[in-house]
Amino acid sequence: MHESFGSFVAQVAEVSMKDGTITVDRVVCAVDCGLAVNPDHVRAQMEGGIGFGLGTALGSAITLTDGKPDQANFDTYSVLRIDRMPKTVEVHILNSGNPPSGVGEPGVPPIAPAVANAVAKLTGKPPRRLPLEA
């Protein structure tokens, strides 16, 4: 669960593993952003935040050598590809009656802990660093 910009977001992930590769099969997301003026926009922002956060959780990393980044562009920096996006992403928008609040960033932070918790449950071993490894 995460709170920022006046919004609250909680996420739960279902994962599976094959040959040591973590696959996120399903994500359920609940968001309380006050009055959802445009629910389709809220849903899209949560889905995009989940994808962005999964990129970091499952593989994106910036490493340094002698204080300089090893990754210079998308040929050396891995971002989440569409085939790694969960098959199912459910976004539930709560109507709290509060004034509208932000939805651009709050969908990103809860996904890595949700996936890490699911991996811990699946393997019996809690992950200790990102990107997650089986």
pLDDT digits (tens, 9 = 90+) for 74-88: 888 888 999 999 999
Q: Which CATH number fits domain 2-123: 1.20.1440.120, 3.30.365.10, 3.30.70.1400, 3.30.420.10?
A: 3.30.365.10
Residue 123: strand, helix, or coil:
helix
φ/ψ of residue 82, rounded to 5: -60, -30
The ranges assigned to domains in the chain are 2-123
**pTM of this structure:** 0.91
For the chain, residues with pLDDT lower than 70 are 134
pLDDT for the residue numbered 134 = 58
